[in-house]
Amino acid sequence: MKKTTVAILGSRGIPNRYGGFEELAEHLSTGLVTLGYDVCVYNVHNHPCPDKTWKGVHRLFCHDPESIVGPAGQFIYDLNCINDSRRRGFDVIIQLGYTSSSIWHRRLPRHAKIITNMDGLEWKREKYSRLTKLFLKYAEKLAVHNSHALIADNNKIQDYLQETYQVESDYIPYGADTDIFTSKNEKKPLTIFCAVTKKVIPLKKEHFFLLIARLQPDNHIEEIIQGVLMSETHLPLVVVGNHNSHYGKKLVKKHISKKIVFTGGMFQADILNQLRNQSRIYFHGHSAGGTNPSLLQAMAASALICAHDNPFNRSVLGADALYFTKHADIASIIDEKTDQKDREKMVKNNVTKIIKQYNWSSIINNYAALIEKVLSEP
């Protein structure tokens, strides 16, 4: 019996070396292979892993000119992937995101069923100009009207799609692993490298605050930094994220301080999980919608979370987090301290959510069920 063929587009490829969509592509592709699907994942031509297969997943490579032409290269990469898919005969194409792919919807193979993960509300991001926001809203509309099925990774995104476009979507969140620690790693001394001072800094458990994010305005990086500086704490805030962008350089120049440690980008999962687990408070400033993978990773790592107060974060965390809207809130949260029993309860509840609601096994099964559903429809 012929296997159902599935292609995953919209990520830079697997194994994950980049971010959220790549992590999803990695878990989803290998999980679907285990369930008996024939799966291909598209990869950028310069992905550090050159293998044509990985854990049973076929890896297809397409040229990505981002290093030459900048962000516009994303559109060319997506077009290259879509053009390649036209000659492959896939039964189902899963698109991760829509921002740079939906404008090529006419190039998608007509015989394939298209499933689109709608991600967050990209047009709400503060870093974009008004013209870019209008384009992203248009791209969102194209994705809605040119997909056989839509995936919302957050209940509030599901509500938004229904209210805005009167369309149904399937709620399938991201996942996270809870088996991320070993006793050996827990006892290992933790050090980080400050990319600004070029010094190695030792860290003690619960003697630092943590922020892991892309350094962009809608992640409320500056409010978090200002809140820590405004507080009475002597503990440092460790900021993990590439600061070589215009906004990142501006932040570094403005907030050079012993209390603010910029590490640059870090991608070693074991080190990041140790940082999350051992931080006093993990700050999550994302606000542009959807369920952010880094939030789930912080929950899985048993971090005490202080999140930006918006419907998307509240739909995931509920009462099991501290919340801020401005930098003064952060200063108050730091100075007031958190009762140890309350802290333990919030952390335990969030780990339970990961186990019950955000585990990869059930998420992969939900994707498989959706694949079968769209294939059964005319």
* DSSP per residue, 206-247: TSSEEEES--SGGGTHHHHHHHHHHSS--SPEEEES---SHH
Q: Lowest mean pLDDT: which of 82-86, 132-136, 226-230?
A: 132-136
CA–CA separation, 237 and 228 (whole Å):
7
Domain range 5-175+359-376, CATH architecture: 3-Layer(aba) Sandwich (3.40)
**What does the alpha-carbon distance between residue 3 and residue 369 come to, in Å, rounded to a whole number?**
15
- Quote the pLDDT of residue 120: 77
Q: What is the pLDDT of residue 188?
A: 64
50 vs 256, higher pLDDT = 50
3-state SS class at 178: coil
pLDDT over 50 at 183, yes or no: no
On the question of a common fold for 5-175+359-376 and 183-357, the answer reads yes
pLDDT score of 184 more than 50: no
Query: What are the residue boundaries of the structural domains of the chain, listed by start?
Result: 5-175+359-376, 183-357
Q: Is the pLDDT of residue 285 over 80?
A: yes
> Does residue 20 have a pLDDT over 60?
yes
pLDDT category at 186 given cuts 50, 70, 90 is: low
- Give percent of the chain with pLDDT exceeding 70: 97
**Cα 118 to Cα 143: distance, rounded to the nearest angstrom:** 8
User: What's the chain's Rg over C-alpha atoms?
Assistant: 21
Please name which of 9, 56, 62, 12 lies closest in space to residue 30, comparing C-alpha atoms. Answer: 56
The pTM of this model reads 0.88
Using CB atoms within 10 Å of the CB of residue 18, give its burial: 0 to 12 exposed, 13 to 18 middle, 19+ buried: middle
Contact 180, 300 (CB under 8 A): yes
pLDDT reading at 169 higher than 50: yes
CB atoms within 10 A of CB 249: 12
Q: Using CA atoms, how far apart are residues 152 and 1, in angstroms rounded to an integer?
A: 32
Q: Which tens digit of pLDDT belongs to each residue from 112-165? A: 999 999 987 877 777 778 888 899 999 999 999 999 999 999 999 999 999 999
Quote the CATH superfamily of domain 183-357: Glycogen Phosphorylase B; (3.40.50.2000)
* 344 φ/ψ sector (left φ>0, alpha ψ -120 to 50, else beta): alpha
